[in-house]
Amino acid sequence: MKKLVFASMLFMSVFFAHAQVSINVNIGTPPNWGPQGYDDSRYYYLPDIDVYYDVNQSVFIYDNSGKWVREKRLPSRYRGYDLYSGYKVVLTDYRGDSPYYYHTKHRAEYPKGYHGKPQKNRGEKPKGNNGNHYGNDKDNKGKNKGNNNSKQQSDKNHDHGNGKHH
């Protein structure tokens, strides 16, 4: 009888050990053009083009005739916009799925041409694209890790956190 109890306990412990579930939440990896030091932030606001970027979903969020659209690529009207040199406002004080809920506030506080603290990009601008960039550059990850001294990088930064505005 003891052997049967021992065997069943052993079986159950092995069964439950294999039955453990590992949940791995994949929050998006910031793009190389994203600002350095904000890997846990979900949203950037790009004041020059009045567009948000959702790091978790790797999509741009913009107003299209009164409707907020999520797309992997910027709309064609921003064809010449350089994400590497454009300023990114990091929204560290917003948790949710609709950063545009505060769009009026963001436009007022961060108008076109806004620049805050110095900012370095996570990676270098890919060679040969003249700064024109439609979407994210996750395919270039790892090529420039640790090398953030590009002359083309913006020297601006802003932390939009805890209600403190710089």
**Residue 166 buriedness (CB in 10 A; 0-12 / 13-18 / 19+):** exposed
β-sheet bridge partners, residue 117: 157
Is residue 16 pLDDT above 60, yes or no? no
Residue 15 domain-assigned (yes or no): no
Q: What is the pTM of this model?
A: 0.65
| Domain span holding position 150 | 30-160
Residue 130 domain-assigned (yes or no): yes
| Domain tally, the chain | 1
pLDDT band of 158, cuts 50, 70, 90: very low
Strands 159-160 and 89-91: parallel
Residue 23 domain-assigned (yes or no): no
Residue 60 domain-assigned (yes or no): yes
Taking residues 146-155, report their average pLDDT. 36
Residue 72 domain-assigned (yes or no): yes
Is residue 33 pLDDT above 80, yes or no? yes
Q: Do residues 159 and 87 make contact, with C-beta atoms less than 8 angstroms apart?
A: no
- Low-confidence winner among 13-17, 51-55, 82-86, 127-131 (lowest mean pLDDT): 13-17
